[in-house]
Structure 1
Amino acid sequence: MQNTTHVYGIRAVLEAINSEEPIDKVFIQRGLKGDLSKQLEAMVRKKGIHSSYVPIEKLNRLTKNNHQGVVAQVSPIQFHTLEPLVEQVLKSDRTPLFLLLDQVSDVRNFGAIIRTAECSGVDGIIIPKKGAAPVTADTIKTSAGAAFKIPIAKVDHIKDAVFYLQASGIPVLAATEKTDKTVYDITFDGPCAIVMGSEDRGISPSILKTVDQLAKLPLLGEIESLNVSVACAVFLYEVVRQRRFKV
């Protein structure tokens, strides 16, 4: 069965997966046995859907209905595929601007970033299938509905998206404190993609090694970092400033 955010029951979740429903995550009861549950686990692995094994109490909190040990969290939006999205933007008369989120996990941060991205003219947001904040009712609310207006693409690995963007002629910049160069030293008049890192770990080292440029925000106080959604807004609006005023 299905309500606004969840599908519950093994057969119903299997049907949702086969129907290409935009499933963010599948919660499976620990110790669940049976041929049907094995079929579900195999399907989840095959499709690359994020899953967690949880105690039954967690499932009971997600739904009061007979969940049969399985609850799937369904996104209220349809996700895009990276390659067609990039090709579509490259064929337009826009100067490409993409935003990659390396495991930003807080739904409200995610919603705030989506809102800023839509307002600043970002062509698409790219997130990993695993480890990223889901698009929930809170995400939609925080985004002020922008989640329905801007394309969001899911990829297996952010690093693969970086390589694809670079091969498509779109340089990639990482927002990180691990550099002496600030965002105000960067020129944004051409195509670009910006990577923002997770709230606690920042951008993973493997991604930092693959990007074209690194840049940070100057911090003049005693606090060592900004909230990721705030930092993202500063980076994106520096792009807007330069492109709009031809700095």
Structure 2
Amino acid sequence: MKDSPKDSEQYLQKRAFYDSLLTIYGRKPVLEALEDLSLPVHKLHLADSNRRDQLIARIEQLATERKVEIAHWDRKGLSRISKNARQDQGVALDLALPHYGTTDAFLREQSAAAGQKNYELLALDGITNPQNLGMIIRSACAGGMDGIILPRKGCAQIDPLVIKASTGTLFKMRLLRCEQLAPALADFAAQGVRICGLSSHAQQTLSSLGGDAPTIFVLGNETRGVSDEVAKQCTQHLRIPMHNDVESLNVAVTAALISFRHQR
């Protein structure tokens, strides 16, 4: 849902705060997040049915020491927060990450900025493998990309497997959420952003792309590639030259090549 021009500044600030909350779940990921004092924690959620074992006791102790609010729920209530009743292990944690938000907020920020910055983003279209998602985040963070657009529909969501595969870089990377990717890309294109789809059939190569405009690189599904709906939003297509009859690369490898192509 887009913000109305009539929305008050107070409402927008409150909404921006809640948009910045990343909810993680699972006992080990939550424990590790609480142990990392650099991560701003908003609220701990626990199921009433939890057996108070050593892990739960340690999680509660850390939350108390950090003066984090603890909320107790029945199993249904907790599952509404974690959105994964089968794997949350009765624990969820809200992290208030300043670089976690929405594409709408990012576009407002760019519109308000003095002068246009030539930022580069990755946009993920149907990336369903958590391991790939985690490795993409890791490469984008290490390579200095300005953010990753992650739709809520059609892509793997943040879970313990993604956190593990990202080796903690998920908490450092700017993640921009949207409901569906194609409409979000259309909003960026309307602001003059280049939308580049990766395709093995493209004429233009990745290395030939100049750096004179804000750019989004769209990475498609591990087997099907970029969807037709998203491909229609691409203003150009790029390919990575390959030898020895190799037809395609793993999507996480492609993300790494894009992210590091300016490095020397």
Question: Could you state the TM-score of these two structures normalised by the residue count of structure 1?
Answer: 0.67
Partners of 1:136 and 1:224 in 2: CA distance: 31
Cross-structure match for 1:37: none
1:90-239 equivalence runs, <5 A: 91=113, 94-238=117-261
1:37-48 equivalence runs, <5 A: none
SS class of match (2:137): helix
Report if the CA contact (8 A) 2:26-2:88 is conserved.
Answer: no
Q: Percent identity?
A: 25
Report if the CA contact (8 A) 1:177-1:215 is conserved.
Answer: yes
Q: Which residue of 3, 6, 11 maps to 2:77?
A: 11
In structure 2, the CA distance between the partners of 1:64 and 1:12, relative to structure 1 (3 Å rule), is closer
Report if the CA contact (8 A) 2:26-2:89 is conserved.
Answer: no
Partners of 1:235 and 1:96 in 2: CA distance: 13
User: How many residue pairs end up in the alignment?
Assistant: 193
Report if the CA contact (8 A) 1:99-1:126 is conserved.
Answer: yes
Deviation at residue 155 of structure 1 after TM alignment: 1.2
Partners of 2:238 and 2:260 in 1: CA distance: 14
5+ residue gaps, structure 2, are 1-24, 30-45, 48-73
1:88 and 2:109 equivalent? yes
Partners of 2:145 and 2:227 in 1: CA distance: 23
Opposite residue 145 of structure 2, the aligned amino acid is V
Residue range with higher mean Cα deviation, 76-85 or 168-177: 76-85
Question: Could you state the TM-score of these two structures normalised by the residue count of structure 2?
Answer: 0.63
**CA-to-aligned-CA distance 1:58-110 (integer Å, 9 cap, x gap):** x4xx4777xxxxxx987878641111123335627742111100011111211
Partners of 1:214 and 1:222 in 2: CA distance: 20
Report if the CA contact (8 A) 1:76-1:135 is conserved.
Answer: no
Deviation at residue 122 of structure 1 after TM alignment: 1.7
Report if the CA contact (8 A) 1:197-1:228 is conserved.
Answer: yes
Partners of 2:215 and 2:160 in 1: CA distance: 30
Residue range with higher mean Cα deviation, 85-94 or 176-185: 85-94
SS class of match (2:101): coil
Two-structure CA RMSD over aligned residues (Å): 2.9
Partners of 2:239 and 2:130 in 1: CA distance: 24
Partners of 2:152 and 2:104 in 1: CA distance: 15
Cross-structure match for 1:47: none
Deviation at residue 220 of structure 1 after TM alignment: 0.7
